[in-house]
Amino acid sequence: MPYDASDSVVQLLDVSKEFMRDKIRIPVLTNTTLHIPKGDFAAIMGPSGSGKSTLLNLAAGLDRPTTGRVIVNGQDLGVLSEAGLSRFRSENLGFIFQMYNLMPVLTAFENVELPLLLAPLNRAQRRQHVEAALRIVSLADRQDHYPRQLSGGQEQRVAIARAIANDPVLLLADEPTGNLDATSAQEVLDLLELLNTQFGTTIIMVTHDPKAARRAKRLLHLEKGTFVQADIEALETSR
């Protein structure tokens, strides 16, 4: 696939990552290079323990590579301090987790408002953003509900609203449908597709589910720390 590097939202350049456990080095990613162009919707598949989450964490600046560089939205994450990374995440990234990870003590509205508290917005502006985000996920009428009053699918949609509230350039989703029934999973995938096509949000989604992966524009297969080329057609015929 031809690409213009400057057009990439995410670039992993020759990235390796290893963990130390009981003084034993565990290599997870080895000399991995990856370019995700603007507006892409990439699905990452691979066996458990192949390093998918690790890869997302590196792209999110939540962890640092052992060697190699990570460049997101033109910013080399390696040069940023802890505080710089926090700020960078708050301004550029949105996260969707498998376990939704909403604050149980906050309403849907307040959960979505959380990332906006870090932005230079006043109360009215925050309200506008939150309401817009909740409308996109079709939960405007649930804004005062607490997470425990929502279904799993609804919780995940609130989580998506939280992830998009600050207009991120990149959305990182780690098995966003992994905890959902088929119908809810469909709704979540519909939403991600909508965000990608209508709003041009770049998405990287880790998934186990081939049905989910099919909704992406591009499929990446991670195996033993490196990408093996795979295409969606092949996936469909193999299943």
Ligand X SMILES: Nc1ncnc2c1ncn2[C@@H]1O[C@H](COP(=O)(O)OP(=O)(O)O)[C@@H](O)[C@H]1O
The reply to whether 172 sits near ligand X by the rule CB under 6 A is no
Rounded Cα distance between 71 and 58, Å, is: 10
| Residue 49 contact, options ligand X, Mg ion, another protein, none, Cβ 5-8 Å cut-off depending on partner type | ligand X
Residue 74 phi, psi (nearest 5): 85, -5
Helix, strand, or coil here: 110? helix
Report the chain's terminal Cα–Cα distance, integer Å: 25
Among positions 140-159, residues that touch ligand X (CB under 6 A) are none
Rounded Cα distance between 43 and 209, Å, is: 10
Among 32, 53, 107, 154, binds Mg ion (CB under 5 A): 53
The reply to whether 98 sits near Mg ion by the rule CB under 5 A is no
| Residue 234 contact, options Mg ion, another protein, ligand X, none, Cβ 5-8 Å cut-off depending on partner type | none
Residue 13 phi, psi (nearest 5): -110, 105
Residue 164 phi, psi (nearest 5): -100, -5
Among positions 192-221, residues that touch another protein (CB under 8 A) are none
Residue written as tokens 């006043």? 122
When the beta carbons of 8 and 207 are compared against ligand X, the nearer one is 207
Sheet holding 67-72, edge to edge: 24-37, 8-21, 67-72, 75-76
The reply to whether 12 sits near ligand X by the rule CB under 6 A is no
Among 37, 51, 65, 115, binds another protein (CB under 8 A): 115
Residues that bind ligand X (CB under 6 A): 19, 21, 26, 28, 46, 48-54
Residues that bind another protein (CB under 8 A): 57, 60, 62-63, 82-83, 86-91, 93, 95, 97-99, 101, 103-106, 110, 114-115, 117-118, 162
